[in-house]
Amino acid sequence: MRYLVTGGAGFIGSALVRLLVREGHEVANMDSLTYAATLSSLEPVEDYPAYQFHKVDIRDREGVRSVYEGFRPQRVIHLAAETHVDRSIDSPTVFVETNVLGTTVLLTEATRYVESLASEADDFRFVHVSTDEVFGSLGDEGAFEVDTPYHPRSPYSASKAGADHLVRAWHETFGLPTIVTNCSNNYGPYQFPEKLIPRMLFRAMRGESLPVYGKGTNVREWLHVDDHARALALVAETGAVGQTYLVGSGDEIANIDLVRRLARHLDSVVPGPVPYEEHIEFVQDRPGHDLRYSIDSSKIRNELGWMPQVPFEAGLRDTVEWYVAHPEWWEPIIAERYQGERLGMGKDAT
């Protein structure tokens, strides 16, 4: 099958591309290569004849149209987005431009493309990958469900919520065969170092403090990126048009407990002069920091037969060992693009 993956040089996108190429599909990766994109994440498959890369911004209508017409995908899995909450607090406009306007361009050109397919149009699917953050913040109990009302609380989640609504509107108004997925927090190899887990790891390995927002009581559900990639491939292949699928592992943990687990894994893999947990410090909380996320993923489990395959503790340890073993991947990123500085204070929002 021919898959077009947008944002395929990002964390989740590259995991999906690696999976699809290794399964024998033809894959076109459309990515504008922003600061968070890393083509080295695709080195394991870059020489496969079935893989091709297109440096195209999803806001570029002509570029997007050219890829649709030239590659003629049967499936589009749309991951291209600005994704970091802290950066959205500092620079909200770019999140609206990419996540809302860019998605609109993709949908418009997909509609044009599908109209040219004639009898093949029935086999086309547009899968839009979103986040649990569009639903807002939970208390100590409960979980997000497919019909949970939207209540985004950051510029990032608001921009993703806007994109979700547009995707559904294109299905209802123009008949575009779309599917929406919302996932919990992802972790695993090749994640950009500004995100919580890799940031804690590289700071620890450099002997720096491990800054935890507030009291560290914010709870997240963690999903291994390879499990997410398998879910997306399954949804694209067998998911029902017009439906929403929530993808989560059920593994919830408070941020402070996660950082402590990372510290203990590092103690066993690369022991330091003192336990890494002693480097933890509590810092000013993020503005509007959601308390807890939790996903009810029973629909994708029951209807499509998906189940996570990576146990959390084993996946976390494997992730620690991967970052320890691959400084050649993350050290250039830190040297050139992100040095571990605090983001998201919103002092000069643009």
Cβ neighbours for 165, distance < 8 A, ≥ 6 positions apart: 150
Torsion angle of the four alpha carbons 88, 277, 322, 296, in this order, in degrees rounded to the nearest 10: -60
By the 8 A CB rule, do 308 and 6 touch? no
Q: Which residue has tokens 């004639």?
A: 118
**Which residue numbers are catalytic?**
132-133, 156
Cβ neighbours for 192, distance < 8 A, ≥ 6 positions apart: 10, 11, 36, 38, 198, 333, 338
Check residue 150 and give left, alpha or beta (phi > 0: left; psi -120 to 50: alpha).
Answer: beta
Torsion angle of the four alpha carbons 96, 99, 105, 110, in this order, in degrees rounded to the nearest 10: -160
Residue 283 identity (one-letter amino acid): V
